[in-house]
Amino acid sequence: MSTRSIKIVRVTKDDYDQVCAITPPGQIYGGTDYLPDYFHMLLDMPNVEAYAAVVDGKFASFVLSFVVDNGRTVVPRAGRTNKEYAGMGLLHMLLRNTIKNSKYDKIAVTAGGHVKAIFDQIRDGRREKILMMEFRYFITSVDHLKSILNTNGNMTPTSAKPIDESELADILTNQQVCCHLFPEGRCIVDCVPYRLIKSNASLIKTIRTTAIGSNLKSGTRILTFANYASTSIGMVCNIEVYGCIGETLTEHLFLHLREIVSKAISGKVIIRCFFRDETNLNFITNLMNRFGLDRTEMYGTTLLCTEGTPEIYFRDSKL
C-alpha cells in the first residue's frame, strides 16, 4: 500500500460519474443501490460530508456520512470500494478523515442484524445497541399498482394526513407522543438513526420523504415515513412504521403508494417495509397483498442500529 499514491478528496456533484463507477450499481444490494439517484440530492444537503480515496489517480473508495443530532453524531452510509482496492483500509481512512477536525461524540451505524461480529461488539461493550427493526420486501409492477390504486381511487383517509417539517419537529419534542412511537428514544428513517430532537426534523424531511400521521393525540398513534429511489431494477421505497399497527395503516399505505406511482413510469416497484414487532408480519403481508404487492426475498430481514465512540470504533478497526 505504501508504494501507491493515495489522495483523499472532498466529493462534489461534478464527481458523479467517477463515484458511480467505483462499483457498478447492479452489483450493490442486488441492484437496489439508491446512490446514483440520491447523489445530487444528498450533496445538496447541509449535513452531508462525502469523501473519496483516489488511488493512483483513480476513484477507488467512497464514503458519504450524515451529521445529525445537533452535530453530535456521524452516520456513515453509501460506502463502497472497488474490488481492485479491497483490503487497503480505504473506508476507515475516509471515515477518519470525516471526523478528524470535528468533535462528534458518537458514530452510529446501521447494518443487517445477521452480522455476528456486531453482536460480539455489543456483548463486549464496544458498541451500544440502539434499535432493531424487522423488515420485509414486497414487489409488484408499476402498471399493476396503478390499476389497484385506481380501483381504490375513492378511498378518503379519515385520520391519516401528511406531516410537514414543522409538525414533525413538534412530534419529536413531544415526550407523551414519543414514548409511544419511539420507546428507545430514537427513530430510523431511510436507514439513518436520529435522536428525538427538533433540529433533526429538517434532516429527516428530505425532498424524497413523505411522513403520514394518524391519531397522534390518542392511544392508537401511528407515524409512517416513506422514501423512494429509482434503481437499476426498478423503483425502491423504504417505508418505516412506528406506533400502533392496525387498519389505519391502510390509509397510510394508500397515500405513500400514490406518491410513489406518481414518480414511476414503468417497471418494478419494490417496497421494503420496516416495523417494530415480528408478530405484525401477517397483518402487514395481508395489507400489502390488498394493494397487489407480494412478498419476495432479497437480502436480510432485520436492521440493527448501534453506536460507539470514535475512539473505540477506530481501535477496533486496527488502523
265-296, pLDDT tens digit by residue? Answer: 889 999 999 998 777 899 999 999 999 999 99
Encoded amino acid at 196, one letter: L
Residues 229-269 pLDDT 10s = 999 999 999 999 999 999 999 999 999 999 999 988 889 99
**Multiple choice CATH, 131-303, 3.30.465, 3.40.630, 3.80.30, 3.40.50:** 3.40.630
Residues 30-64 pLDDT 10s = 889 999 999 999 999 999 999 999 999 999 999 99
Q: Is 115's pLDDT higher than 90? A: no
Q: Is 313's pLDDT higher than 80? A: no
Residue tagged 415526550 (cell numbers):
175
Take residue 208 and report the three cell numbers written for it.
Answer: 424524497
Give residue limits of the domains in the chain. Answer: 6-104, 131-303
Please report the pLDDT score of residue 2 as a whole number: 55
The architecture CATH gives domain 6-104: 3-Layer(aba) Sandwich (3.40)
Please report the pLDDT score of residue 310 as a whole number: 84
Integer Cα distance of 188 and 280 in angstroms? 18
Please report the pLDDT score of residue 317 as a whole number: 55
Please report the pLDDT score of residue 318 as a whole number: 45
- Chain centroid offset of residue 291 CA: 23
Residues 99-112 pLDDT 10s = 887 889 999 999 88
Integer Cα distance of 204 and 192 in angstroms? 9
Q: Is 5's pLDDT higher than 60? A: yes
Please report the pLDDT score of residue 101 as a whole number: 73
Please report the pLDDT score of residue 315 as a whole number: 66
Q: Compute the mean pLDDT over every residue in the chain, rounded to the nearest whole number.
A: 91
Residues 176-223 pLDDT 10s = 999 999 999 999 999 999 999 999 999 999 999 999 999 988 888 999
Give the long-range contacts of residues 82-86, CB within 8 A, separation 24 or more: 82/22, 82/23, 82/58, 83/23, 84/60, 85/53, 85/55, 85/60, 85/61
Q: Would the CATH topology of 6-104 be identical to that of 131-303?
A: yes
Residue tagged 392511544 (cell numbers):
219
Integer Cα distance of 176 and 18 in angstroms? 47
- Quick one: average pLDDT of 152-160? 80
